[in-house]
Chain A
Amino acid sequence: MEDLTRLALKTAEELGATYAEARFQSDIRESIVLKNGVPEVSVIEELKGFNVRAVFKKSLGFSSTNIISKRTAKDAARRAVNIAKAASNAIRKGVSMNEEKLGEGKVEIKPRIRFDHIDLDSKIQLLKEADKAAEQSANEAKAKLPARMFTLDTITTEKIIVNSDGAHISSIIPRAALAAFLTAYHPQKGSAQRFFNLGEAAGWEAVEKWNLPKLLGEEAQSLSKTLMEAHSPLEGEMDVVLGPEVVGIVCHESCGHPAEADRILGREAAQAGETYLNMDSLGMRVGSSVVNVVDDPTLPGSFGFYMYDEEGVKAGKRVLIKEGVANEFLHNRETASVFGVQSNAASRSVAYDREPIIRMANTFLEPGDYSKEELIEGVKHGVYIKNFMEWNIDDRRFHERYVGLEAYRIENGEPKERVRNPVLEITTVGLWSAMDAVGKDLEFQAAYCGKGDPMQGIPVWTGGPHARLRKIRLGGVQA
């Protein structure tokens, strides 16, 4: 495959590309789906192919194919250059690739337990055991779980990246992922639903570590208790303690996305939108001094793990908000050239047939000094929102809404009864500015972040510790 990527690169250069890159990518995914205790289907998906990106007279062309031969390698290069040529007279500023120190080498995560060492039956039995544990826990809480769906994926991604500026990276990354959906029901109480993902860059050992029967049992119990016990939603002004799952989604939506330089430049305007930040926003205060949000692709075992991005730039930690001040944007080589900075290796693509664009990896609030108990002790009247279900944010990343699922009223420093669906509907700066204390714990959740056209759902972690917000006006009652 190395030869073919080189051949594609050489062909693009011969056809006049001032910059060219070729990437081979193979994603082998095995999925099993258990719905309401019944195996739906077992699926093997082998997506293999390569692509070429070429710049011709500042016009960017991309082509991909899954037909792998010398002829198609040359053809892909020709298609990328030709389409860039055709569009070159509809270009004003166009594209330049910033000069960077590019990597050469191999990155490989060796699984401790290979996926093919676990047979299909064992995987399905594990899900069935987890399903039973979930049902049992719900029964104990006097609810039913009429709808359950679990999807367990094991994925191995292999890439070879070469470009005309000298990058040469190969990587093999295994990933395990679980998507779980639960519905708790009681004839008098109605229903409550919970969706969550788990994911790591690791072998089967990750799935063993998750202890799915225990986890699903706990999740089902909590969901059932929320359904059976939660009191009317709270309204009015109060302090709010957010759990790591909520802090994680806040970091992703209202810090990571606004900091994407392609949004700042308007490149995603017709799809995922723009941002309230602009090219001059670095140095602007967006939150209190306890807020430090980072994005780090290099966290070992993380769902968004990589060491080099698709343009060959070495990855490292990006500090997006430092002590409450906008500190760094996410860049690829194209936006770095416009901003006059160095790329911080945010160029990612989800498959062989997708253009690399600016993405987050693992975005989280850096821990502070407080225990969870200390955060709650400091609240006279408030709510603890442990996790959430509904959320969204406007396409300038300024007006957001998170609706709690498992949540508790806090009175005089102590958690009290469960409350139903507290609504945090707030602005980005309003939320970050209200944060007065940050926990010392740190937890991550897996997610697939959607962006790009065609859409690319890319693996990320979102995370953080518990954190406290002061004087928040909770949103209104749900319809």
Chain B
Amino acid sequence: MKWEEIPSHLVELGIKFGATDVAANLIELDQTMIRFSNNEVTASKNFHEVMINVFVMIEKQRAGSTFSILSSKALERAMKKLVEMAKVSPPADVYAPLPKGPFKYDPALLRSPRVSSDPNELVNYVREAIGGASKSGAKRVAGSLTLTNASMVLETSSQASAVQRRSSLEMSVRAFVSEVASGHSLSIAQSKRDFEPAEAGRRAGEIAKMALNPREGQSGSYTALLGPMVFAHFVNQVGVQSSAFMVDAGQSFLIDKLDSRVASDKFTLIDDPTLMGTYGMRAFDDEGVPTKRNIIVEKGILKTYLHNSTTAKKFGAETTANAGLIMPTPWNLVVEPGEKPFEETLSEIDDGIYVTNNWYLRYQNYQKGDFSTIPRDGMFQIKNGQIANPVRDLRISDNMLKIFQNVRELSKERLWIKWWEVPIPTLAPYAIVEDLNFTKSTM
């Protein structure tokens, strides 16, 4: 049997063994990652795998499985076991049949051009990133380059049938001028045309150079200018916690906030997997429903949670084509830009702090949105509308809802962000946030 025929075969087997609904997908992944630090390559990795995911329902009874390519007999055994598992599972609270196909998909969303995985070419991208940072003054450069070519074949018992081919390039580069003066930047793209490793290196190096000799920061409440990496990290929190699953699990500050104000009127957030040529482009969700542009927050008002068919039924809503068979998830987050360029937004801050990157975000209480996170890489005082001296050793300790409600301005410029700390690709501007609370170690 050819690999691409396996999902439809599994659907047939599932129905034969007594399932009411079956969704099966097969993902073939060919991924190469080159990691580097101290201006040299430290490890080069290639991953090749074919993974099968199957989800079955016998109305309210559900079971799922993930496994590798197996022989025909073993596939049959695996499906029999899975349906048996569903049969002995106690029922869930709702049964939503898989959405009825067949569906029509936008052909342009089904395929992005395959990116060459020639290792020599990839090593050259790494050289470009290191070179870009070094030219800006970096002494040490570290990071990772990831190239992905993947295809997904999806079949469901409700006549959804589709094949998606996706390719992408990611460069994450961190430049150091001293042990405590660093900058980080990224380039993510669907194709070589939009991939700018040297530019990412240059930006990282520039921030690192500006960050040399930081002073100890003072805790307090400041007008903050958040760079796109920081704002994208916060926007990811809104995107992920708008998943109806997270709302139901109590792990969201958006509980009971539908049609309420959750941000200032400057903030509009869209999940748009239909955006052509972008990293997070996607034609269908894991239930086979054609993806669409969903406005999550419009001028500060929460308009929808993200749904699959099960959470939609539970919440009395329609699917938003964000399945995840268990958990709905955002695909490609876009923040609407502001009207002013970065320089102008900066010039409006008399006394503030500019944060270029952050990491390690943890909640005290998801439902309230109380959290803290740590700025890393260049952080600067802003005095009279200009970037002044670099500062260090501060922590953002605040509340996520308060932060979004205090967004005063967004920049015209936006950058695509996805890296180790920001899993959902996000097109993010610079953001001015009023009264952001910074704390620091007391001893």
- Complex interface: chain A residues within 8 A of B119 (CB): 82-83, 85-87
Query: Contact between A91 and B41 (Cβ–Cβ < 8 Å)?
Result: yes
B89 within 8 A of A: yes
Query: Contact between A390 and B363 (Cβ–Cβ < 8 Å)?
Result: yes
- 4 nearest A-B residue pairs (beta carbon): A147-B250, A86-B119, A269-B142, A392-B360
- Complex interface: chain B residues within 8 A of A427 (CB): 441, 443
Query: Contact between B441 and A266 (Cβ–Cβ < 8 Å)?
Result: no
- Complex interface: chain B residues within 8 A of A33 (CB): 326
A-B pair count, CB < 8 Å, reads 279
Take A36-B248, A266-B142, A479-B397 as given contacts and tell me if A42 and B66 are in contact as well, using a CB distance cutoff of 8 Å.
no
Query: Contact between B176 and A430 (Cβ–Cβ < 8 Å)?
Result: no
- Complex interface: chain A residues within 8 A of B374 (CB): 392-395, 399
B219 within 8 A of A: yes
Contact check: which of B81, B86, B174, B364 meets A389 at CB < 8 Å? B364
Query: Contact between A42 and B44 (Cβ–Cβ < 8 Å)?
Result: no
Contact check: which of B47, B55, B123, B176 meets A269 at CB < 8 Å? B176
Query: Contact between B123 and A90 (Cβ–Cβ < 8 Å)?
Result: yes
A-contact 0/1 string along B398-418, CB 8 Å cutoff: 110010000000000000000
A438 within 8 A of B: no
Contact residues of A with B, CB < 8 Å? 33, 35-36, 38-49, 59-68, 76, 79-80, 82-87, 89-95, 119-121, 124, 146-149, 181, 183, 190-193, 265-271, 273-274, 353, 355, 389-396, 399-401, 403, 421, 423, 425-427, 430, 434, 453-455, 472-476, 478-479
Query: Contact between A65 and B48 (Cβ–Cβ < 8 Å)?
Result: yes
Query: Contact between A45 and B65 (Cβ–Cβ < 8 Å)?
Result: yes
Take A36-B248, A193-B367, A475-B442 as given contacts and tell me if A270 and B37 are in contact as well, using a CB distance cutoff of 8 Å.
yes
Within 8 A of A (CB), among B66-86: 66-69, 81-82, 85-86
Query: Contact between B44 and A453 (Cβ–Cβ < 8 Å)?
Result: no
Query: Contact between B184 and A270 (Cβ–Cβ < 8 Å)?
Result: yes
- Complex interface: chain B residues within 8 A of A393 (CB): 360, 374
- Complex interface: chain A residues within 8 A of B187 (CB): none
B362 CB to nearest A CB, Å = 5
Query: Contact between A392 and B373 (Cβ–Cβ < 8 Å)?
Result: yes
Complex: A475 Cα to B374 Cα, angstroms: 15
Known contacts A147-B251, A270-B172, then 15 further A-B pairs from the complex at CB < 8 Å, ordered by chain A residue: A38-B93, A42-B64, A46-B66, A60-B43, A64-B48, A67-B69, A83-B32, A85-B119, A181-B249, A270-B173, A355-B45, A401-B372, A403-B372, A423-B439, A474-B442
Query: Contact between B89 and A120 (Cβ–Cβ < 8 Å)?
Result: yes
Query: Contact between A425 and B46 (Cβ–Cβ < 8 Å)?
Result: no
- Complex interface: chain B residues within 8 A of A47 (CB): 66, 68
A334 CB to nearest B CB, Å = 9
Contact check: which of A274, A389, A454 meets B33 at CB < 8 Å? A454
Contact check: which of A66, A83, A192 meets B365 at CB < 8 Å? A192
Query: Contact between A193 and B89 (Cβ–Cβ < 8 Å)?
Result: no
- Complex interface: chain A residues within 8 A of B441 (CB): 399-401, 425-427, 430
Query: Contact between A41 and B64 (Cβ–Cβ < 8 Å)?
Result: yes
B407 CB to nearest A CB, Å = 16
Query: Contact between B439 and A476 (Cβ–Cβ < 8 Å)?
Result: yes
Query: Contact between A267 and B90 (Cβ–Cβ < 8 Å)?
Result: no
- Complex interface: chain B residues within 8 A of A121 (CB): 88, 90
A261 CB to nearest B CB, Å = 13
A-contact 0/1 string along B171-215, CB 8 Å cutoff: 011101001100010000000000000000000000000000000
Query: Contact between B46 and A120 (Cβ–Cβ < 8 Å)?
Result: no
Contact check: which of B43, B47, B361 meets A64 at CB < 8 Å? B47
Complex: A79 Cα to B63 Cα, angstroms: 36
Query: Contact between B50 and A67 (Cβ–Cβ < 8 Å)?
Result: yes
Q: Select from chain A the residue with minimum beta-carbon distance to B91.
A: A39
Q: Select from chain B the residue with minimum beta-carbon distance to A393.
A: B360
Complex: A63 Cα to B43 Cα, angstroms: 11
Take A270-B172, A391-B362, A392-B374 as given contacts and tell me if A67 and B68 are in contact as well, using a CB distance cutoff of 8 Å.
yes
- Complex interface: chain A residues within 8 A of B42 (CB): 60, 95, 267
- Complex interface: chain B residues within 8 A of A426 (CB): 441-443
Complex: A183 Cα to B256 Cα, angstroms: 15
Q: Select from chain B the residue with minimum beta-carbon distance to A69.
A: B69
B276 within 8 A of A: no
Complex: A60 Cα to B36 Cα, angstroms: 11
B261 within 8 A of A: no
Complex: A473 Cα to B439 Cα, angstroms: 13
Scoring A65, A83, A389, A396 by chain B CB atoms within 10 A of each residue's CB, the highest score goes to A83
- Complex interface: chain B residues within 8 A of A59 (CB): 41, 44
- Complex interface: chain A residues within 8 A of B339 (CB): none
Contact check: which of A40, A191, A266, A453 meets B144 at CB < 8 Å? A453
**Interchain residue pairs with CB less than 8 A apart (13):** A36-B248, A38-B93, A39-B62, A62-B43, A62-B46, A93-B38, A121-B88, A147-B251, A390-B364, A399-B441, A426-B441, A473-B443, A475-B397
Contact check: which of A48, A87, A149, A192 meets B68 at CB < 8 Å? A48
Take A62-B46, A82-B119, A455-B420 as given contacts and tell me if A149 and B249 are in contact as well, using a CB distance cutoff of 8 Å.
yes
Query: Contact between A478 and B49 (Cβ–Cβ < 8 Å)?
Result: no
Complex: A452 Cα to B420 Cα, angstroms: 9
Take A192-B365, A389-B364 as given contacts and tell me if A38 and B92 are in contact as well, using a CB distance cutoff of 8 Å.
yes
B395 CB to nearest A CB, Å = 6
- Complex interface: chain A residues within 8 A of B123 (CB): 86-87, 89-90
- Complex interface: chain B residues within 8 A of A191 (CB): 250, 365, 367-368
Query: Contact between B88 and A479 (Cβ–Cβ < 8 Å)?
Result: no
- Complex interface: chain B residues within 8 A of A455 (CB): 420
Within 8 A of A (CB), among B322-350: 326
B318 within 8 A of A: no
B39 within 8 A of A: yes
A264 CB to nearest B CB, Å = 11
Query: Contact between B39 and A92 (Cβ–Cβ < 8 Å)?
Result: yes
B105 within 8 A of A: no
Scoring B82, B127, B439 by chain A CB atoms within 10 A of each residue's CB, the highest score goes to B439
